[in-house]
Structure 1
Amino acid sequence: MELGSVLEFLENKTILVTGATGFLAKIFVEKILRVQPNVKKLYLLLRAADAKSATVRFHNEIIGKDLFRVLKEKNGTHLNALISEKITLVPGDITREDLGVKDSNLREEMWNKLDVVINLAATTNFDERYDVALDLNTFGAKHVLNFSKKCAKLNVLVHVSTAFVWGEESGMLYESSFKMGDTLNGASGLDIDVERQVVEQELNELQAEGASEEAITLAMKDLGIKRAKIYGWPNTYVFTKVMGEMFIEHLKENMSVAIVRPTIVTGTYKEPFPGWAEGIRTIDSLALGYGKGRLTCFLGDVKGIVDVIPADMVVNAIIVAVVAHAKQPSDVNNIYQVGSSLRNPLIYTNLQDHAYRYFTKKPWINKDGKPVKVGKITVFHDMASFYRYMTVRYILPLKGLELANAAFCKYFQSKYNDLNRKINFVMRLVELYRPYLFFGGIFDDKNTEKLRLVARDNGVETDIFYFDPKCIDWEDYFINTHIPGIVKYAFK
């Protein structure tokens, strides 16, 4: 593997970014425009019916974000000209053939001009409807690959997946691919086309029964988890993402493809500025509940490792992988797990300490204008002790309140509602994150480390395209960067 200057490679290149309104996609677009304004063109695929609605989404969900303030300061009054020259909005939908691009001239233009395709389109919701996740994460990957095959001079396709395609596996988890039909538990019979048929049959039956939209949504969520667990995966998200990888590997033929698997993605480490975040993602849900005083107990292995990686490092790894795999043979090692558990592990108990220190010093102000006082969380090390605690502390009192409420008292009704909300909140978090609270896996990153070393030895601009987790001081990062970032940008 040989690498030249990343900045030189990006110059005059034409790049398609799918899922352009997503968290990582926005950071990617900002990075390219800021460090290499001589990129020829960025085509941004947005789910939109037409050019007008795509423009509205671009201004509201991309360029209007605080993420772009450094770019705005750098370019001043020239920013609009830069955007007009460098960005082409593509209304479309990756769940459809040819990415749902209706404009035939625009399709032909991309097929003739694209050098690079970055597939960042996905739903990351753990309990997404199965039909939605299958369309986006699985068949969407297939559609992006097929679209890329029609590009006359394409250098490389980079498909962004997740390291948690390994499910609940423990030990060293390698940067190896999944072949079509592979399963984690050894079960046979996984066929992606059959999965689509299962979805269609279930939808047809529900509609024939006159089920409400709410009932259909719940049934589709349950179906996704059920189908995932049949083959050894814990939730719909990772199941549909691994099937997307299967499509990529099975159908890529001679195309140069790289698959990037980030772990838990957190706010930016330093670019375009430290701490930019968007939405509530994975561990941030716990910080949200804790900071607002709603999470006083939880369960998990306090000595376990939680694998997190800042978003700007993920984007930098994607960009360097683009350069490394441009015109490379399709059979080279092409999977990159981008995380920290091997090189610079973060321990769950340390994460709790960081949150306690931050919210003690800077407490959340509730709707009544009063600071929320946080304390140490009671942590249970197994499900049995957790359920015993919940029963004695909450469920039995809840039943008592049900009886009292039957007697008429509004006071008990209020207490009942508050307690019920707290139980539902905690139990939902437990169910969503249970597979990862006792996660025993370490993500090998041999290929990613090789990419780092080659970049360093080849004089690549490693100060610009940094992605080595060993440089992170986790205590400083969480207390002074990440938690302040999610409080500012993500907490509502």
Structure 2
Amino acid sequence: MDAAQVAAYFRGKNILITGATGFLGKVLLEKILRIQPDVTRLFLLVRATDDESARQRVQTEVTGREIFQVLREKHGKGFEDFIEEKVCPLAGDVMYEDFGLDTAKLKEVSKVVDIIVNGAATTNFYERYDVSFDTNVLGAKQICALANKCTKLKMLLHVSTAYVCGEQEGLILEKPFMMGDTLREGTHLDIESELNLIKHTQMELKANCATDKAERKTMKELGLKRARHFGWPNTYVFTKAMGEMLLGHLRGDLPVVVIRPSIITSILKEPLPGWMEGVRTIDSVFLGYAKQALKFFLVDPNTIMDVILHLVNVGLCGVFSGRYNELSGKYRLAMHLIELYAPYTLFKGRFDDMNLEKLRKAMEQNSDGGEYYFDFDPKKINWDDYFYMVHFPGYRPNAALKEMYMISQFVTQHQGTLRQKKSSGTFLKVATKYPRKPCLESTFSVSYCRRLLILV
């Protein structure tokens, strides 16, 4: 198998994608349209009231984004017509039977779809149990049900997470979950009972006239409690594991592939190096330090940490500002977040990737020079270069980082004077090494850097 064969596989195919408005969905959609413009149709399931609203969402939230810049330049004035021909937005939701599609649309989709990619998920670690269950568990069930109606289906690809393994240590093998499996000895998981528990809790809350705030808190705590009871650290990975169980149980003869990514950050090479949306994953920590909002973070310095989508909540950046004696409320929140994220920052497992290794070797043996477009070997990545030359510069511009950039230029011109100020050591080191990049490793606030400018 070579790159040309991979691209050719999508020629003439009809593909249904859920979660297309998300970061990963956009990357997948753009990639397919760029490497195989002869794909027949891409059906995008979008939460919307009707197909016109779905079309508007796709235009503004998907094809209108910068990641489609290369395609826009390639097709020029014909870009919109190309998208209109290839992309078909569908108003629906994975939690509903048949995605909530009307009979005519369901019939059309089930007759032509060759591939289904299920990327729809809620990735919040501390999500309401009912919300997470609807999307990550019932969504997987509905995906499987619809897939069984697709007469031409060749593959169902389900995006899960590497951290369904929980807090295991050592080598973690790629094993499927069976119905009832748990990570805690002496427990047995019944998905139907979990659904009934959710419904019962909702009824109790309604009977007690609970406020929206009380309901949210109760449902969030219920998810965390149930996850930990069965050995998972949070609601997200718990519900993703249940989704995998249902897929394995209901698949029948369906050709199902489950992928479990551990880290999804910005684009390395193409189409736009460094492209991402907002502040994602580990970026919250980087920006927190750079902007002096994050003073510390719980980690094991000897651990190589894998990070998944939304592992570090953006809100974390604002948790640790101010003085300790002024932060009794924030301190409790900080301890809660530390407890929530500790299983990942202190993770001791190593993921077995033999399946991917076999695929990599097959690609290398049949290389036709096109592996650039399908390179997924992390060992080839120079991680220092990636973060400093690709990822960090991809951050959305903001006032603080712009000013840090200007200051870095100044520092390179006044090294002699600043070197005498002991407190400027870290800043100087970074500014000297990366004079044209935002000084994300600086231990200084922007206000302190202003004072440096005045002193010099």
Q: TM-score range by the shorter chain?
A: 0.7 to 0.9
Cα distance change on mapping 1:116 and 1:40 into 2, 3 Å? same
- 1:479 maps to which of 388, 393, 405: 388
Following superposition, the deviation at residue 428 of structure 1 comes to 5.0
Q: Is the 8 A contact 1:127 1:235 kept in 2?
A: yes
1:96 maps to 2:96: yes
Task: Determine the C-alpha separation between the residues in 1 that align with 2:275 and 2:309.
Answer: 10
Alignment: residue pair count: 391
Following superposition, the deviation at residue 161 of structure 1 comes to 0.3
Following superposition, the deviation at residue 309 of structure 1 comes to 8.3
TM-score (norm 2): 0.81
What amino acid is the match of 2:148? K
Partner residue in 1 for 2:198: 199
Cα distance change on mapping 1:454 and 1:36 into 2, 3 Å? same
Partner residue in 2 for 1:372: none
Partner residue in 2 for 1:58: 58
Task: Determine the C-alpha separation between the residues in 2 that align with 1:186 and 1:70.
Answer: 52
Cα distance change on mapping 1:185 and 1:262 into 2, 3 Å? same
What amino acid is the match of 1:201? H
Unaligned runs of 5+ in 1: 312-363, 365-389, 399-418
Task: Determine the C-alpha separation between the residues in 2 that align with 1:213 and 1:140.
Answer: 24
Partner residue in 1 for 2:340: 432
Q: Is the 8 A contact 1:182 1:190 kept in 2?
A: yes
Partner residue in 2 for 1:7: 7
Q: Is the 8 A contact 1:173 1:443 kept in 2?
A: yes
Task: Determine the C-alpha separation between the residues in 2 that align with 1:206 and 1:134.
Answer: 18
Following superposition, the deviation at residue 434 of structure 1 comes to 1.2
Task: Determine the C-alpha separation between the residues in 1 that align with 2:234 and 2:278.
Answer: 20
Following superposition, the deviation at residue 453 of structure 1 comes to 1.2
Question: What per-residue deviation string (whole Å, max 9, x for no partner) do you get for residues 26-79 of structure 1?
Answer: 100000111111100000000111112212211221112111111111111110
Following superposition, the deviation at residue 143 of structure 1 comes to 0.5
Following superposition, the deviation at residue 454 of structure 1 comes to 1.5
Task: Determine the C-alpha separation between the residues in 2 that align with 1:65 and 1:304.
Answer: 36
Cα distance change on mapping 1:7 and 1:309 into 2, 3 Å? farther
Following superposition, the deviation at residue 429 of structure 1 comes to 3.9
1:228 maps to 2:137: no
TM-score (norm 1): 0.75
RMSD: 2.5
Following superposition, the deviation at residue 279 of structure 1 comes to 3.7
Following superposition, the deviation at residue 80 of structure 1 comes to 0.8
Partner residue in 2 for 1:468: 377
Following superposition, the deviation at residue 89 of structure 1 comes to 0.7
1:188 maps to 2:187: yes
1:442-461 correspondence to structure 2 within 5 Å = 442-459=350-367, 461=370
SS in 1 for 2:16: strand
Following superposition, the deviation at residue 425 of structure 1 comes to 6.5
Cα distance change on mapping 1:53 and 1:273 into 2, 3 Å? same
1:37 maps to 2:37: yes
Question: What per-residue deviation string (whole Å, max 9, x for no partner) do you get for residues 285-339 of structure 1?
Answer: 222322221111222210101125899xxxxxxxxxxxxxxxxxxxxxxxxxxxx
Following superposition, the deviation at residue 422 of structure 1 comes to 5.9
Comparing 21-30 with 459-468, which one deviates more in the overlay? 459-468
Cα distance change on mapping 1:71 and 1:309 into 2, 3 Å? farther
Cα distance change on mapping 1:229 and 1:425 into 2, 3 Å? closer
Q: Is the 8 A contact 2:282 2:307 kept in 1?
A: no
Give percent identity, aligned residues only. Answer: 47
Q: Is the 8 A contact 1:42 1:87 kept in 2?
A: yes
Task: Determine the C-alpha separation between the residues in 2 that align with 1:479 and 1:189.
Answer: 46
Following superposition, the deviation at residue 394 of structure 1 comes to 4.9
SS in 2 for 1:68: helix
Higher strand share: 1
Task: Determine the C-alpha separation between the residues in 2 that align with 1:3 and 1:472.
Answer: 19
Cα distance change on mapping 1:486 and 1:433 into 2, 3 Å? farther
Partner residue in 2 for 1:271: 270
Cα distance change on mapping 1:424 and 1:68 into 2, 3 Å? farther
Task: Determine the C-alpha separation between the residues in 1 that align with 2:397 and 2:40.
Answer: 34
Partner residue in 2 for 1:351: none
Task: Determine the C-alpha separation between the residues in 1 that align with 2:184 and 2:308.
Answer: 28
SS in 2 for 1:304: coil
What amino acid is the match of 1:108? K
Task: Determine the C-alpha separation between the residues in 2 that align with 1:394 and 1:76.
Answer: 55
Cα distance change on mapping 1:111 and 1:273 into 2, 3 Å? same
Q: Is the 8 A contact 1:46 1:90 kept in 2?
A: yes
Following superposition, the deviation at residue 457 of structure 1 comes to 2.1
Unaligned runs of 5+ in 2: 311-316, 402-456
Comparing 470-479 with 282-291, which one deviates more in the overlay? 282-291
Q: Is the 8 A contact 1:5 1:459 kept in 2?
A: no
- Higher RCO by CA contacts (8 Å cutoff, separation 6 or greater): 1
Q: Is the 8 A contact 2:281 2:309 kept in 1?
A: no
Cα distance change on mapping 1:2 and 1:266 into 2, 3 Å? closer
Partner residue in 1 for 2:49: 49
Comparing 426-435 with 136-145, which one deviates more in the overlay? 426-435
Following superposition, the deviation at residue 421 of structure 1 comes to 7.5
Task: Determine the C-alpha separation between the residues in 2 that align with 1:484 and 1:427.
Answer: 32
Following superposition, the deviation at residue 426 of structure 1 comes to 4.0
